[in-house]
Structures are given as C-alpha cells and as structure tokens.
Amino acid sequence: MNSSQLIGNEALKTHLENAAKRDAFGHAYILHGPRGSGKRTLAGFLSAAILCSSQSGRPCFRCSHCRKVQKGIHPDVVTVDAGGKEIGVGQIRELRKDAYIRPNEAAKKIYILPAGETMNFAAQNAMLKLLEEGPSHAVFLILTETPEALLPTVRSRCVELGLSPLTAEEMEPLLRERFPEKSSEELRSAARRSGGAAGRALELLEGNPGTGELPQAFAEVLSRKSEWDLLSFCVGREKTDRDTLGAFLEDCEAMLTESLRVKMAGGEDGEFGGAAALLARSLTKSEIAGTIDILRRLGGYCRNNNAGTGHVLGMLAAGCWEMIH
C-alpha cells in the first residue's frame, strides 16, 4: 500500500497496510476526526485501495480504478450528500435500492456519507439494517466529526478509523508545497492555529483573516494590568468576525504559553519574542497559567457555539481582569 499519500497517523497507516496485504477490508467504516483532518482524503484513499486491480501495493494509483477514484469519476464510488441538511430515512432507502444493483466495473461498490452525523434516528435505523443485511459487494464509508452522534448499534457494525491531529513538522512539507510563497512564520502559525488539521491550515493560508499585531497589542494591555485598558481593547473589537476572533484567541494562547516557558527557562527567541518576554516579566506564573486557561476555554466556546463575538470579548475582558488584578 502506498501509504505515503497519507500524512502522519502511523497507526492508521499500519492498519490499512495490513488490510491491503490480506485483502481483508471491512464492509463498513466510520472515519472520524475534526473538520479539516482529512476524512475525505482518507475516504478517497480507502476507496482506491479497495477497488485497485493491482496484485501488490494497493492502491497503486496507476490502474484504471485508482485513476478514476482520484479524478472523482468512478461509477462504483457513490457519494450520499444532503448538502448540509438532515439525511432522512427516504435517502437511506434509496441508497439501499442502489446498493443491490451490481457494480458497474469493479468487484465492489462504495458508498460515502460525508456527514454521517446528519442522519436522523429513522435513517440510522435503516442504515443499521443495510449494514446487517446488505449485499456483499457493498462497502460503506461513514464520515463524521462526532462519532458519538451515531447509534451504538451502527458503530458496533463498523470499523472505526480515527484521524489524529498532525504536528506542525508533519504538516510543513504539505503547506510548503502548496504555498511556496509563504514565509516559514506564516506556515508555522497556520499549522499551530489549525489544531492539527491540515485542511484547516490550508484554509487559513488560502485567505482566512490573520490576526496581525493584535496578540502583541494584547500583551501590552495585559502587562499594564489596567481594567480600563483591557475593557477598551475588547470593546473596540466587537465587530470582529468569528474566524478572526478564534484565530486571535488561539494566537494569544500560544503567546501566553511561550511566555510561561520564558518565565521558567528564559530566552526570547520564540515566535512571539518580545511580547512573550514582556508578559513573563509582568505576570506571575499563576496569572499566566490562569489566562491561558481562559483563552483556551473561550477559543473552544467560539468554535463550537453560535456565540456573538461581543459576548466572547466581554467574557475575555472580565475573565482576564479577574485573573491578573
């Protein structure tokens, strides 16, 4: 198996390599991981491996099946996409009818559900019946960010493959290849802010707004320990969009983490340099650690809830002031 096409996730690669060697792929998989972690890439890779006609090194990416999967034109790879809406029982019943039709070209027929968590209860029960009684030539790939949203009975009948977060070092060759014009600092920042999801890092580099010098300005405000300055800083940014605010919170968390290292071990040669050193001089270790916790919680809140940016910034001002004064 040419597992070099997959970045990181060594345990996952080993599992797939062993399955390819034994020609022992399962009939149903749940591919889970956060947004941008590579679930669709893995689904395409797994589809090619299952349909590949090579006798060794599957997927070979040279045979007709592999090339068609890569181009998204294989007639035996079917994507069931509700366009962001709920998948109902009717769609699963239609899928069931199609599944009983023999494959067009390959020995197997693969069905990809890009957002498995959008199946409602009735749809999942219909899917369960298909997993239990479906034809032997059908393979199902259920992609989801939240596997716990699937019924335990559905999960128990699938092989679960989880994508782990990538390190910045694992991501860097991909990011460098796609964005050779970007500086090393920009690539590292995108990798760090992505939470280990290569797709998210690419989105950030493709034009999602950055935070510029805002983290450094925030460091100066924190160092002054002035309630008025802190409130003014946050209130002045209430019109910030959620993506920019989320990136700002992540950058500030990284900056405070760097300042904690500076305070404990010295030096100013990190990504945030003087700003991290300023915080190390101005705040105690407990104040820095507490502020990191606030930023981390608000970052998660900003990503996972439909909260207004003004509300999040208000919580930031109140939480930081309580921590540092």
Superfamily grouping for domain 3-162: P-loop containing nucleotide triphosphate hydrolases (3.40.50.300)
Element (DSSP H or E) covering residue 110: strand 109-113
pLDDT tens per residue, range 174-222: 899 999 998 887 888 788 777 788 887 887 787 654 556 788 899 999 9
Q: Are 118 and 87 in contact (CB under 8 A)?
A: yes
In 3D space, the residue among 249, 276, 250 whose CA is nearest the CA of residue 263 turns out to be 276
144, 116 Cβ separation under 8 angstroms: yes
Tally of CB atoms within 10 A around 209: 13
pTM for the full model?
0.65
What are the residues whose beta carbons fall under 8 Å from the beta carbon of 322, sequence distance 6 or more? none
Domain ranges of the chain: 3-162, 168-205, 214-324
pLDDT in tens, 87-121: 899 999 999 999 999 999 999 999 999 989 889 99
CA–CA distance from 278 to each of 166, 216, 225, 266, 298 (Å)?
30, 10, 12, 12, 23
Written as tens digits, the pLDDT of the chain (325 aa) is: 455 557 888 888 888 888 888 888 999 999 998 777 889 989 999 999 999 998 877 888 899 999 999 999 999 999 988 766 788 999 999 999 999 999 999 999 999 999 898 899 999 999 999 999 999 999 999 998 878 889 999 999 999 999 988 888 888 888 999 999 988 878 887 887 777 888 878 877 876 545 567 888 999 999 999 999 999 998 888 777 777 888 888 888 888 888 888 888 776 556 677 888 899 999 998 899 889 989 988 887 776 666 678 888 999 999 999 998 8
DSSP output for 174-226: HHHHH-TTS-HHHHHHHHHHTTT-HHHHHHHHTT----TTHHHHHHHHHHHT-
Instruction: Name the strand (E) or helix (H) holding 235.
Output: helix 227-235
Residue 23 CB neighbour total at 10 angstroms: 8
Cis peptide bond N-terminal to 103, omega within 30: no
